Structure 1
Amino acid sequence: MMREFVITSIKDERILFQLNACLDGELTEEWGERTLRFDNEIGKGVIRNIGFDWGVSLLDCDVTFYKDVKLVFKTTSVSPIEFVFISKGSFKYGQDDSEEYLDLEQFQNIILSPKRYAKKTFLFPAGKDLKVNFIRILRKDYLKKKNNNVTYLNDLLLSVFNDAEGNEPYSHGGSFNLKIADEVKALEKVHDNGMMRTLSLEGRIYLILSLQLLEHHNFEMSESLPESLTKEDIKKIHRLSEYILDNISGPLSVDILSTESGLSPKKLQLGFKVLYSKTVNEYIRQLKLEISRDYLKTTNLSVSEIVYEVGIKSRSYFSKIFTEAYGILPTDYRKQLKVSKSTT
């Protein structure tokens, strides 16, 4: 059964307070950071928030919910512009009670600016680890900043910043970018105390924000960054993973796969890193091992026949990488399976 939580404020401290009322956790504050920790039947995780000058703040979440959660922001104030980046997991976003939701995915550059009075809704799936940070900008406050330079933004994003009353909704689900992911990871590793910590966090937040703005600009100009993938690129990688499975016994070099997918070798490697956290060769090797283990378990094929079926060059090399992966020789693995079957 889905749990629904309603937030009625855009102010950072009120959001954490209301979330704590829903999640029944522990809320603490140190060096201007508010941290909410919870671990109960709803789920477990840490949500932290820190605000800076000129209406910029960070809301950072590392959570796992045990039930589907619907988080609804129902306010009368103009919502902040939110620059969203998901380091792990995925969730959905919608406005009002529409049945249409946007899928927000791992490593995707996302910008959200809901219409004033609209209900902003996030759907978080049960049982999935989620790491996501929201850089939130209150546009009226930010426009008071000296040298804010928003006029250098492209026309589309400039209109979002200048929409002081929140009359026009906007959402951007852009490219998939590992450079931003690396900077977010560095943000998580800031362990300084006091003033040094605050300055480090603020500096990294502005760096991440600048990368997200650059991705948005290039996306709108139909240009791509070296570290970025489009949704079409991601679809090609998905199709390529099916091709690899269907041709597991044949040659599967990066050059062959690049020709098959129409992606450059660099894009190919980046795509596998984004989707599977592996290089192309690491992904193929793991797949070959998983298929061979299944053959050992469910067929009477000899080890030599299995080696041929999965396209590995030699039996000795297969035994070596199988043992490294599973801690047992393939022949001993099969013997172990036979023993366990005979005793059941």
Structure 2
Amino acid sequence: MKELIINTLRSNEILSQIQTCIQGELLEVHGERVLTFNNKLGKGSLRTIAFDRGVSLFDCNITLAEEAKLIFISKDLSPIEFIFISEGYFTYSSNNMEDDTRIEQFQNTIIAHKRNAKKTFLFPKDKSLKISFIRIDRKAYLLKKNNNISRLNQFLISLFTDSEGETTFKHVGNYSLRIADEIKLLNNVDTTNGMLRSLSLEGRLYLILAMQLLEHKNFEENMNIPEVISKEDILKIHKLTTYILEHISDNIPISTLSSASGLSPKKLQLGFKILYSKTVNEYVRQLKLEISKDYLKNSDMSISEIVYAIGIKSRSYFSKIFFEAYGILPTEYRKHLKNKNSSLP
């Protein structure tokens, strides 16, 4: 097992200390620091991005050749960390908590530990790991104008205002595919313009942070995922969304989706309602519309070709639901896109 001792809580310094241990190439472009490695310890990349007022992103996409233990020992005030695993799992422990905690794929997690506490992350070997940490420096964040922490529940308010690090906090919450989808979009921001990329990343990051806080609120109010939806069911639904995307040009009945997922139609509908706040048909229609917007932006396909490509029954129906969703007809949307001064998304 590989052990890495980290004696800082600053994201950029963490990455530098990891690079000292595992080697690899560390580059900085447009405020993003990225460490890539491919050696006997494993392969992959780790990234840090710092935003204003103490908000930063630390994420990784790695596969390790041996178990690795990342141990943090620092006298500094710990950040509040909002953690989400898109692939894999890891085990978290702190010397002021009784039990080790296994954090699973798609599970929303929030942690903060006391000043001077030792925290440990144990990562498995031979497992693809995609993990995002949104880190909040409490003192810096409280200086943010309109931080609105007063709208949080009383315990989170006390956590954000704990300037001495006297409180230990661990929330291991519900599974959320909605957050998983937003993380995927965060990782797929591909504009090469530095300013546009930074703004897009920051906007996505704050949206994910809001969703993680909302999940915690729902969890505390006992609005949990019902017991009829298991972790295995959630994974099946997540896999089904890929199937839907691959067959987006087809009109797939619920019975076919039920067979493809191995879930009953009733459980399938319940799962989509819980995880996406949509019925299956609403989810599929929204996906078709989002894909149509991409075609209108990035292709020369005619409206009729786009309608066929996304499996909509008629051009008039497509125009109707597009207008209902976005407040503009597809033909007008494309005209506006040709105008360089257009501010449409």
Aligned to 1:112: 111
**Which digits, 9 at most, give the CA deviation of each residue in 1:243-301, with x for residues without a partner?**
xxxxxxxxx979x9669xxx84423468999xxxxxxxxxxxxxxxxxxxxxxxxxxxx
Assess, with a 3 A threshold, how the Cα gap between structure 1 residues 95 and 231 changes in structure 2: closer, same or farther.
Answer: farther
Tell me, yes or no, if structure 1 residue 266 matches structure 2 residue 269. Answer: yes
Alpha-carbon separation, structure 1, partners of 2:44 and 2:22: 10
1:242-253 aligned within 5 A: none
Assess, with a 3 A threshold, how the Cα gap between structure 1 residues 271 and 89 changes in structure 2: closer, same or farther.
Answer: farther
Alpha-carbon separation, structure 2, partners of 1:97 and 1:151: 28
The alignment partner of 1:233 has SS state of coil
Aligned to 2:229: 233
Alpha-carbon separation, structure 2, partners of 1:215 and 1:44: 32
Alpha-carbon separation, structure 2, partners of 1:154 and 1:97: 24
Question: How far off its partner does 1:71 sit?
Answer: 0.4
Alpha-carbon separation, structure 2, partners of 1:236 and 1:47: 29
The alignment partner of 2:109 has SS state of strand
Tell me, yes or no, if structure 1 residue 155 matches structure 2 residue 151. Answer: no
Task: Tell me the TM-score normalized by structure 1.
Answer: 0.68
Aligned to 1:214: 214
Assess, with a 3 A threshold, how the Cα gap between structure 1 residues 35 and 231 changes in structure 2: closer, same or farther.
Answer: farther
Tell me, yes or no, if structure 1 residue 145 matches structure 2 residue 167. Answer: no
> Considering only CA atoms, is the larger Rg found in Structure 1 or Structure 2?
1
Assess, with a 3 A threshold, how the Cα gap between structure 1 residues 157 and 99 changes in structure 2: closer, same or farther.
Answer: closer
Question: How far off its partner does 1:100 sit?
Answer: 2.5
Alpha-carbon separation, structure 2, partners of 1:85 and 1:180: 8
Assess, with a 3 A threshold, how the Cα gap between structure 1 residues 120 and 230 changes in structure 2: closer, same or farther.
Answer: farther
Aligned to 1:76: 75
Question: How far off its partner does 1:165 sit?
Answer: 1.1
Note if contact 1:80-1:137 (Cα within 8 Å) is conserved in structure 2.
Answer: yes
Question: How far off its partner does 1:12 sit?
Answer: 1.6
Question: How far off its partner does 1:237 sit?
Answer: 4.3
Note if contact 1:114-1:168 (Cα within 8 Å) is conserved in structure 2.
Answer: yes
Aligned to 1:281: none
5+ residue gaps, structure 1: 241-251, 274-344
Which amino acid letter does the alignment assign opposite residue 3 of structure 2? E
Question: How far off its partner does 1:73 sit?
Answer: 0.7
Question: How far off its partner does 1:166 sit?
Answer: 1.1
Question: How far off its partner does 1:163 sit?
Answer: 1.3
Aligned to 2:316: none
Aligned to 1:41: 40
**Which digits, 9 at most, give the CA deviation of each residue in 1:43-94, with x for residues without a partner?**
1010000001100000010001110100001100011000001000000000
5+ residue gaps, structure 2: 237-257, 277-345
Alpha-carbon separation, structure 1, partners of 2:42 and 2:227: 31
Aligned to 2:18: 19
**Which digits, 9 at most, give the CA deviation of each residue in 1:299-337, with x for residues without a partner?**
xxxxxxxxxxxxxxxxxxxxxxxxxxxxxxxxxxxxxxx
C-alpha RMSD over aligned residues: 2.7
Alpha-carbon separation, structure 2, partners of 1:8 and 1:184: 28
Task: Tell me the TM-score normalized by structure 2.
Answer: 0.68
Aligned to 1:317: none
Question: How far off its partner does 1:162 sit?
Answer: 1.4
